Amino acid sequence: MKIGILGGGQLARMLIESSYKFGFDFKILANEEDSPAGMVTRYFQKGDYNNESDLIEFAKDCDVITLENEFIDYKKIEALEKLNKKVYPRSKVIKLVQDKFFQKDTLLKAEIPVADFVKVENKEDIIKFAKEHSYPVILKSRTMGYDGKGNYKIDSESDIEEGIKTLKARGELMCEKFINFDKEIAVQAVRNHKGEIEVFPVVETVQKNHICNIVRASKNLFDEKIVKKVNEITKKILEQLNYTGVIGIEMFLTKNNEILVNELAPRVHNSGHYTIEGCYTSQFENHIRAILDLPLGNTEMTSGSAVMINIIGEKESEPDMEDLSGVLRNEKTYVHNYRKKKSLPGRKMGHITVLRDNLNEAEKIANECRRMIDV
């Protein structure tokens, strides 16, 4: 069994780590010679996943193909499907998720709660939307947005021109009501070909500079009603999309316990890294199980609480993450070094997960451990 992964970053690396124990081979398509994932498998093709001939060459000896980011051109995935290659998620899902407007519109039509939004073609569209919904609003590029890079908050009419100017280069725009959320929450879920679904625990995510920084998972973090509602929404999305594999879903939880879906990630997700040690079956292993139509693994937590903290680059440097003794002195504490050659501000270099019964204790240790690593 050879599984192809488009991309060679940390998500691909952790997919491989999760499932080589089953005896599967993994093949990577990446531009970079020593990519985080390329280092942990012997099957590597140097190439560009947006180049059709590279893709077709890559797919030749793969039994099934998956991906680690949604910015790949869905038409290229379609081309592989026409050659009867199995690719999960399917091109149809990639196409939908790639464009935040289509994504939200599809969710709305499926009666899934989302923040009010509108398509933006010019300044007047924003003025009209803000009149109906009041400021602030958030302007978003429909495509190629990540880590907040495609977003611009508009507090009043005088911000509009700057917002359009900032985001225009990324493509078409949309506008959303600004949600004064209580918490940002996320969930991962997995569905196999048979339609079996497992939903991972609902977690709280804390972003720093628009980048996921901390993830809190705990058995009693949320009211049962909220967990039930999140599970219902999640299952509905998976079924609507006829989805195969792991999906990450970002949501807002408002002060009056309303849940709004913010965005879908058709892949394993940073908010689910804690599942490697924090759940009986990780999001990575369950993704591989799902695309191969194997029975799904148990997604319950292995301890009362888990806290994941990202190791995000703070400066340009050649990171030295060799000495992990300070971190590893703590029990039930796990560190993942993605082996990126260079650290840059905002670059995800690794992560640490701490398991404890008590959430606050786990978070305190996670923060202490993070400070021991200089990147």
Ligand X SMILES: Nc1ncnc2c1ncn2[C@@H]1O[C@H](COP(=O)(O)OP(=O)(O)O)[C@@H](O)[C@H]1O
Nearest residue to 12 (alpha-carbon basis) of 69, 68, 88, 93: 68
Judged by CB under 6 A, the residue of 50, 134, 156, 207 near ligand X is 207
Judged by beta carbon, residue 147 or residue 157, the one nearer ligand X is 147
Query: How many angstroms separate the CA atoms of 317 and 374, rounded?
Result: 10
Judged by beta carbon, residue 210 or residue 332, the one nearer ligand X is 210
Cβ(273)–Cβ(353) under 8 Å?
yes
Please give the residues from 261 up to 290 whose contact with Mg ion meets the rule CB under 5 A.
263
Report DSSP letters for 216-234, one per residue. EEETTSS-HHHHHHHHHHH
Residue 184 binding target from Mg ion, ligand X, none, CB below 5 to 8 Å by type: ligand X
Secondary element (H or E) of residue 305:
strand 305-312
Taking CB under 6 A as the binding criterion, the range among 175-183, 275-283, 292-300, 350-358 that sits at the site for ligand X is 175-183
Residue type, 152: Y
Residue 145 binding target from ligand X, Mg ion, none, CB below 5 to 8 Å by type: ligand X
Residue 361 binding target from Mg ion, ligand X, none, CB below 5 to 8 Å by type: none
Report DSSP letters for 131-187, one per residue. HHH-S-EEEEESSS--TTTTEEEE-SGGGHHHHHHHHGGG--EEEEEPP--SEEEEE
Nearest residue to 130 (alpha-carbon basis) of 175, 70, 183: 175
Tell me the closest approach of the beta carbon of residue 119 to Mg ion, in angstroms: 20
3-state secondary structure of 352: strand
Residue 234 binding target from Mg ion, ligand X, none, CB below 5 to 8 Å by type: none
Tell me the closest approach of the beta carbon of residue 275 to ligand X, in angstroms: 20
Tell me the closest approach of the beta carbon of residue 271 to ligand X, in angstroms: 10
Tell me the closest approach of the beta carbon of residue 375 to Mg ion, in angstroms: 23
Query: How many angstroms separate the CA atoms of 46 and 39, rounded?
Result: 13
Judged by beta carbon, residue 252 or residue 338, the one nearer Mg ion is 252
Taking CB under 5 A as the binding criterion, the range among 68-76, 130-138, 173-181, 247-255 that sits at the site for Mg ion is 247-255
Query: How many angstroms separate the CA atoms of 147 and 159, rounded?
Result: 21
Please give the residues from 221 up to 280 whose contact with ligand X meets the rule CB under 6 A.
250, 262-263
Report DSSP letters for 26-79, one per residue. EEEEESSTT-TTGGG-SEEEES-TT-HHHHHHHHTT-SEEEES-TTS-HHHHHH
Q: Which residue lies nearest ligand X, judged by its C-beta?
A: 179
Please give the residues from 110 up to 169 whose contact with ligand X meets the rule CB under 6 A.
115, 138, 145-151
For Mg ion (CB under 5 A), the number of binding residues is: 2
Tell me the closest approach of the beta carbon of residue 145 to Mg ion, in angstroms: 8
Nearest residue to 343 (alpha-carbon basis) of 322, 315, 321, 373: 315
Residue 148 binding target from Mg ion, ligand X, none, CB below 5 to 8 Å by type: ligand X
Please report, as ranges, the residues that interact with ligand X according to CB under 6 A. Answer: 115, 138, 145-151, 176, 178-179, 184, 207, 210, 250, 262-263
